[in-house]
Amino acid sequence: MSKFLPLWPDQASTMAHQVDALYIYLLLVSGVMTALIFLAVMLLAIKYRRSKGCVAEPIEGSTLLEITWSIIPLFVMMTFFVWGAVIYFQERTPPADATEVYVVAKQWMWKIEHMEGQREINELHVPTGQNIKLIMTSQDVIHSFYVPAFRIKQDVLPGRYTTLWFKATKPGRYHLFCAEYCGTQHSGMGGDIVVMEPQDYAQWMAGGPSAPLQDTGKQLFSSLGCSTCHRFDVQGRGPNLQGIYNKPVLLEDGRTVTADENYVRESILNPTAKIVNGFKPVMPTFQGIVSDEQLNALVAYVKSLSRPATGTAGLQNPPAASSGQPQNMQVQ
């Protein structure tokens, strides 16, 4: 039956079954409640229909009955909230071991770059059984990354990053939609998620020369002159960036912010927006100088400075151990 009249898209991710189960539960509870209300209205309408010669008399309500039909539906409806909240927080919390992929939306295409350096347009190759975290931004207007088979959707905004994660479970080709009207060719802004067996994915990933994204970011970091101020051996005009990622940063105005992807991105494009305590606003803006793809590479490089040294990031000194206290660090 489902082959000729599918009721929903393929279930190709770990979250798909949970989302479908919640949706079916919503439909069943709504259907049962509707049927009960309709039946009650019909029975009462028949029993208490108007009759000639019948004089209406005031009656006393039942407090117990009123409490019962208020409390029981309340608890039933609260299950919607609790179940939905559990799924929401699962969808909004990428696993720590997720493989990161950068996505740049543009009228009317999806530009994708893997951490290993492979680039794709309107296609994303992923292996089964691996957590994938998408770090997304837009070059122009608001778009929305939507894969029905994975039951995931996330708006992609200009000027900042949004994230989304999934774990594919079935090999195949699944359609990618833009679910936010983005212009005259919005309906043509699509693509495919190509899910492969791990060995096939490894073979695909090995094809063609490419440089890891953080290495590209390292070269940009040097060519743009960032390394002259952000030194790793001694304190320069800008903060030492080792160990900065996802750590608290104390600002000049007394606030403390977390140095996540959006903080690093903003510090590159608008360095005077958040001045780190103890440093002067001397860094020039790179707005209009670096592209979104280059920004992704720079962000990936800064993030790599907080990982254990592997030789690929070119660390001059190992990152200092984090004490959990706010750091005087900023991409300035």
Question: d(Cα 220, Cα 109) in Å, to the nearest integer?
Answer: 25
Number of Cβ atoms within 10 Å of the Cβ of 103 = 25
Closest CA to 245 of 265, 229, 269, 221: 265
Predicted confidence (pLDDT) at residue 86 exceeds the cutoff of 60? yes
Delineate the domains of the chain, giving CATH numbers in brackets.
1-42+65-210 (2.60.40.420), 213-304 (1.10.760.10)
Instruction: Indicate the pLDDT class of residue 234, thresholds 50, 70 and 90.
Output: low
Per-residue pLDDT at 317: 36
Predicted confidence (pLDDT) at residue 324 exceeds the cutoff of 50? no
Placement of tokens 């952000």 in the chain: 230
- 268 to each of 38, 105, 169, 196, 293, how far by Cα in Å? 61, 20, 37, 36, 13
pLDDT tens digits along 241-273: 888 899 999 998 889 999 999 999 999 999 988
Given a contact cutoff of 8 angstroms between Cβ atoms, the answer to whether 137 and 163 are in contact is no
Instruction: Indicate the pLDDT class of residue 160, thresholds 50, 70 and 90.
Output: very high
Q: Which helix (H) or strand (E) holds 300?
A: helix 292-304
- The pair of three-digit structure tokens given for residue 260, joined into one six-digit string: 């996540």
* DSSP secondary structure string for all residues of 213-247: HHHHHHHHHHHTTGGGTS-SSS--SS---TT-TTS
pLDDT tens digits along 16-45: 999 999 999 999 999 999 999 999 999 988
- 4 to each of 1, 23, 149, 238, how far by Cα in Å? 6, 21, 17, 63
Question: d(Cα 332, Cα 104) in Å, to the nearest integer?
Answer: 24
Predicted confidence (pLDDT) at residue 57 exceeds the cutoff of 80? no
- 146 to each of 84, 166, 242, 291, how far by Cα in Å? 19, 12, 35, 24
DSSP annotation of 289 reads T
Predicted confidence (pLDDT) at residue 58 exceeds the cutoff of 70? yes
Give this prediction's pTM: 0.83
Q: Which helix (H) or strand (E) holds 143?
A: strand 143-147
